[in-house]
Amino acid sequence: MRRIDIQDRRWQQAMTAITDSIRIAGSKTYVRFYRRTDPQARWEPVTIDLAAA
């Protein structure tokens, strides 16, 4: 909805209120590892279970 360009004053105020109400609580970075046994093989995801390490 915020991407729609409507010039109505009330619409603009509503979109500003929505934008002002958004708060990012946190973010996470993920890393994925893949491997393959030879150059022609398919990539397979590597599962790393840190809790079991």
Per-residue pLDDT tens over the stretch 25-43: 888 888 889 999 999 999 9
pLDDT of residue 13: 94
Domain assignment of residue 31, given as a range: 9-46
The answer as to whether 36 is a domain residue is yes
Percent of the chain with pLDDT over 70: 98
Mean pLDDT of 45-53: 83
pTM comes to 0.44
The answer as to whether 17 is a domain residue is yes
Burial class (CB in 10 A: 0-12, 13-18, 19+), 14: middle
Has residue 45 got a pLDDT over 90? yes
The answer as to whether 38 is a domain residue is yes
For the record, the structure tokens of 49 come out as 């279970």
CA distances from 12 to 5, 23, 37 (A): 9, 19, 56
The answer as to whether 37 is a domain residue is yes
